[in-house]
Amino acid sequence: MEFLIAAIVIYVLYKLISGTSSSNSSTNTYNKSNNASLRNKKQNDFSIKVTSSNDEYDDDDFATFTIRTSFGQEPEKSPNKTKGRWIKENEQLNINGRKVLRGFYYFGGVMDSLDGYGIEPSLVDEKRPASKSNSYLYTDDSLGYWPSYASLSKDCRGAYLSWLASDRSDPETPIGYVFIYFYGFERRVIEGRSKALVPDSEFTAIFNEVLRLQKIFDSNRSFKNYSSNFLELMALLRPTLLENRLDEIPETNNAMAFKVKLAETVVKGDPVNHNLSLEWLKDTYEYSMKTPARRCEGEFKQLFTLRFKEKFGEGINVKPNKTKLRLSYHPSSNGIHAVDLELDELPDPSILKGPIKKIIPIAEQCTEELSSYSRYLGKADTSKDDIAALMLLPRELANESNSPVIESFRAWAKGVIESHGGLATVKEFWSQTGMPLPKSCNKKENELLINLASKADIGIAPDQRFHHTKFKLDDKIVLFSPGHGEFFEPSAAFNQTSLAIRLGAMVATIDGTVDEHEKLTLQNLIGHDDNLSPSEKSSLNAYLIWRLNTPTNSTGLKARISTLLTDQVEYLKRFILSIALADGKIDSSEIKQIEKLYASLGLDKSLVSSDIHAFASTKRSVSNVSTRTTATKDTFSLDESVLAVHESDTQDAKSVLESIFAVDDEPEVEANVLSSESQNGLDIPHNKLFDMLIERESWSRKEIIELCANLNLMIDGALETINDWAYEKVDAPVLDDDGDIYVDTEIVEELKG
């Protein structure tokens, strides 16, 4: 288009400079049809010749530009001299052997387009030849980018008439025919803006018909955009008539209705609410909606509303600015000029940057909260109805979904808590999801079950976020209510006590059974600590039950204990023995188990007996300690008073434990990290294209076509190849084709490892 305009300018300059017409009229004059051809961007090849600066010149001084277009041939003149007219909705006509039962089109032989150049493109002329075929699926080169009935071939005219005679509802209809039909609506509404020319009843009927067409052909992005803009224009032309229909209009490129509504809101002094703010966010050049906002549009809107109200309440106050609002409608028909709307001198606050900078952080927050959910839905064969998808939703949205899975799980969990003290198996827990049992329970499986429980306000132990260990598929798990809650933050006391519980559980289970006194001692560690909140105590008690019912894991403890100082080792020993002696006695078999525990921790097992006696007979007020030896040489007993004397030692031991315990499980090796070998997963051209694409977050399709052309790639195949590669590496696509191409930066980072 820019080149055509430049060519016209050059030609005009030539005419002014030369001061005379061309010496060769066959190459330098334009008849009316050629002017129309240039203006409407649709006709045959033509040439422009520009002279040099010499006063005298011949044809050799001309530079010739040949511009080719692809919009059909100039139509032949029709013998039909009947003035074109609008066929109303219920009017029936017989046209070229077809009975057309419904109107909504122009009919006749003579009707100029509204811009005054050429024939009205939607005019159906029965005198122009049309085939007798009843198929409306036929197309050929005459159905160009800006089609018109007059320039169609005989076969295409027949196909279009057959479509008019049908119910006009087949989504397989070539879109060019739909556009010719649509051109008629544009002309009727724009030419007949007055109610006297187009009454409200007809205006509404046209609105309904275009809306119907849009739903049928919504897969065609071009028609969807043009028809949405047109519906918006109709709503603005007669706001009272269609004020209750705005919600039916999809979002538009022009956003005319939004800009008018925003301007009116600001003029009235009303705050800009969440709905207008979201529309503003989509319209502004200051921000580009990221993949989660586009892929999860409904969820993003819900979450944006919640977060916006939390931050701004009823809305943001914006003062009217001085710049006036100017809106234009650009028709799809090349026979109609752009239409400027009269707006009663409204301001244009949509250009302001201050308010939008307040809104952008809300969008970024929502994008982050929906990122995991979006990435899941980006994988093949996934659905929003999947339990895994539901678990990735923010709590507020998941609760609003009223999922039967959550309700069923809540009922099951409460039954387990009431009947079994919360103790269940991981497999029983997993069965509540309705999903097949996985081969193993890794990070994502842990997260899914944690999320499912939190959605039902149920806590679980272990919870890898707070207890620093993951459960395995063959493990048990403990449920408790209420759960951790959204804002649970473990304190230093919580972390210390959880470590003490871990070591205490190792001691309590060394003989294969857990005595009630041992269990009570560990429970007292939790219950008597005033530094723990009620929710922390609930979590730790559940964790204790899990530890007492789960095989111990002492991996790595020996190496860490070897680094402790002497007094720290003594604290550790006293803590171990305080648990072992909690039942007031210790027999030979238990002594052997403590010796094994000493050995596994790197402690001298030969010191067990002396440590036991030292524990009982030293420290505070030995006279208050009652010891008694039974007849059996290998048995040793303690009164409960011994426990009270040494209770303070447990607090010292807690701090020591922090230096010896690490996360229970070995780090999980993620399969989706991009290794150096996998960088060769793409061939050189696709690798180069990928490297270029990740430099920006969004590209127009035209830009990528040019990049692909330089690499000898076809755009659709190239995008599919890169996404297939991304699926193999990280189980998610990296490119999102929504007309424009968007790059998922999170996936890029994951691919980079």
Q: What is the mean pLDDT of residues 665-673?
A: 39
> What percentage of the chain has pLDDT greater than the value 70?
78
Give the model's confidence band at 86: pLDDT under 50 very low, under 70 low, under 90 confident, else very high: very high
pLDDT of residue 73: 54
> Which of these ranges, 224-233, 338-347, 583-592, 704-713, has the smallest mean pLDDT?
583-592
Give me the pLDDT at residue 382, please. 83
Measured in whole angstroms, the distance separating CA 753 from the mean position of its chain's CA atoms is 22
pLDDT at 657: 66
| pLDDT-wise least confident of 107-111, 233-237, 593-597 | 593-597
Please compute the mean of the pLDDT values over residues 364-375 and round it to a whole number.
91
Residue 608's pLDDT band (cuts 50, 70, 90): confident
Task: Identify the helix (H) or strand (E) that includes residue 365.
Answer: helix 354-369
- In this predicted structure, the answer to whether residue 11 has a pLDDT above a threshold of 50 is yes
- Reported as a pLDDT band with limits 50, 70 and 90, residue 506 is confident
Segments making up each domain of the chain, as ranges: 2-67, 85-249, 254-382, 403-488, 491-663, 677-752
**In this predicted model, what pLDDT tens digit does every residue of 163-195 receive, in sequence order?**
999 999 999 999 999 999 999 999 999 998 767
Mean pLDDT over residues 295-302, rounded?
92
Burial degree of 559 (CB within 10 A; 0-12, 13-18, 19+): exposed
> Residues 269-283: what's their mean pLDDT?
93
Q: Tell me the mean pLDDT in the region 193-212.
A: 90
| Confidence check: pLDDT of 277 > 90 | yes
Q: Which residues pair with 738 in a beta bridge?
A: 740
Least confident of 164-173, 637-646, 721-730: 637-646
Structure tokens at 665: 């499980």
DSSP string, 86-151: EEPTT--EEETTEEE----EEESSB-B-TTSSSB-TT-B-TTS-------S----TTS-SS--TTT
Residue 502 burial by Cβ neighbours in a 10 Å radius (0-12, 13-18, 19+): buried
Give me the CATH topology for the region 677-752. Answer: Aspartate Aminotransferase, domain 1 (3.90.1150)
> Among 310-314, 333-337, 555-559, 691-695, which is the least confidently predicted range?
555-559
Average pLDDT, stretch 383-387? Answer: 80
Task: Calculate mean pLDDT across residues 506-534.
Answer: 82
Tens of pLDDT, residues 531-547: 899 999 999 999 999 99
Reported as a pLDDT band with limits 50, 70 and 90, residue 57 is very low
pLDDT at residue 502 in the model = 83
Question: Could you tell me which of 573, 706, 721, 715 has the C-alpha nearest to residue 649?
Answer: 573
pLDDT at 678: 40
User: For residues 24, 28, 29 and 34, what is the CA-based torsion angle, rounded to 10 degrees?
Assistant: 140
CA dist 709 → 50, 217, 349, 566, 715 (Å): 32, 30, 41, 72, 8
**Residue 650 pLDDT:** 56
pLDDT of residue 3 exceeding 70, the answer is no
Whether the ω angle into residue 404 lies within 30 degrees of 0, i.e. cis, is: no
Global pTM?
Answer: 0.57
3-state SS track over 195-260 = CCCCCHHHHHHHHHHHHHHHHHCCCCHHHHHHHHHHHHHHHHHCHHHHCCCHHHCCCCCCCHHHHH
Give the mean pLDDT of 441-452.
82
**Contact of 624 with 546, CB cutoff 8 Å:** no
pLDDT at 146: 87
Question: Which tens digits make up the pLDDT trace of 213-231?
Answer: 999 999 999 999 999 999 9
Give the range among 206-210, 404-408, 501-505, 613-617 with minimum mean pLDDT. Answer: 613-617
Q: What is the mean pLDDT of residues 21-25?
A: 37
Q: Please check the confidence at residue 202 and state whether its pLDDT lies above 90.
A: yes
Q: In the predicted model, what is the mean pLDDT of the chain?
A: 79
The predicted pLDDT at position 54 comes to 37
Q: What is each CA distance from 40 to 4, 113, 115, 189, 310, in whole angstroms? A: 11, 11, 9, 21, 52
Ordered DSSP codes for 616-679: HHSSS-GGG--EE--SSTT-EEE-HHHHHHTHHHHHHHHHHHTTT---SSPPP--TTS--TGGG
Which residues, 6 or more positions from 195, have their beta carbon under 8 angstroms from its beta carbon?
A: 203
- What pLDDT does 252 receive? 79
- By percentage, how much of the chain surpasses pLDDT 90? 37
Query: Looking at the predicted structure, is the pLDDT value of residue 628 above 70?
Result: no
Mean pLDDT of 427-437: 86
pLDDT for residue 665 is more than 60: no
Could you write out the DSSP letters of every residue in 146-194?
Answer: S--TTTS-HHHHHHHHHHHHTTS--TTS-HHHHHHHHHHHHHHHHHT-S
Helix, strand or coil for residue 354? helix
Tell me, what's the pLDDT at 679? 47
Check residue 435 and give its pLDDT: 80
